Amino acid sequence: MEGPLFVDDPVDVQLAPMEHLIRIEHIGIAVKDLSAAEELYTKLLGEPPYKREAVESEGVITSFFRTGPNKIELLESTRPDGPIAKAIEKRGEGIHHIAFEVADIRAEMERLKAEGFTLLNAEPKRGADNKLVCFVHPKSAGGVLVELCQEIR
């Protein structure tokens, strides 16, 4: 069959095994005031965050909420020149990145490089919530900062 495949039953789509970017693991949201944002998202999602975690290397404090099988990651900068502070300066608060779960981060980094994407780090690095992470430059990904993340076991 030519062209996109349309599936009548969305359950079929869920059952199809994903090999590469397995699912959306979380959506990262840049915030100015973590406590105020936690209050807002607790009201929005109807549940408080399940953890706060600082990532010193990135200059951020994160706060995680569950929403079904996915998560929301709030990010507040701990320094004025950090990546989150800069993002807020440029674009204001809001969606900062989309993170996809991968089974083998090094293999996916190689695959995306071969597909012409620009990676922001050459080696996977330690991220929040027990993950190895790598970012894909938004200029090579249609304006979206993409994070690959692999659970550290």
* Site size for Zn ion (CB under 5 A): 4
What is the Cα–Cα distance from 124 to 149, expressed in whole angstroms? 9
Please report whether residue 145 would count as binding Zn ion according to CB under 5 A: no
What are the beta bridge partners of residue 27?
A: 72, 98
Let me know if 49 is exposed, middle or buried by CB neighbors in 10 A (0-12, 13-18, 19+): buried
Of these, 28, 49, 59, 83, which contacts Zn ion (CB under 5 A)?
28
- Report how far residue 140's alpha carbon sits from residue 144's, in angstroms, rounded to the nearest whole number: 8
Nearer to Zn ion, 18 or 24 (CB): 24
Binders in 105-124 for Zn ion, by CB under 5 A: none
Quick check: 99 binds Zn ion (CB under 5 A)? yes
Per CB under 5 A, 134 contacts Zn ion: no
Footprint on this chain of Zn ion (rule: CB under 5 A):
28, 73, 99, 147
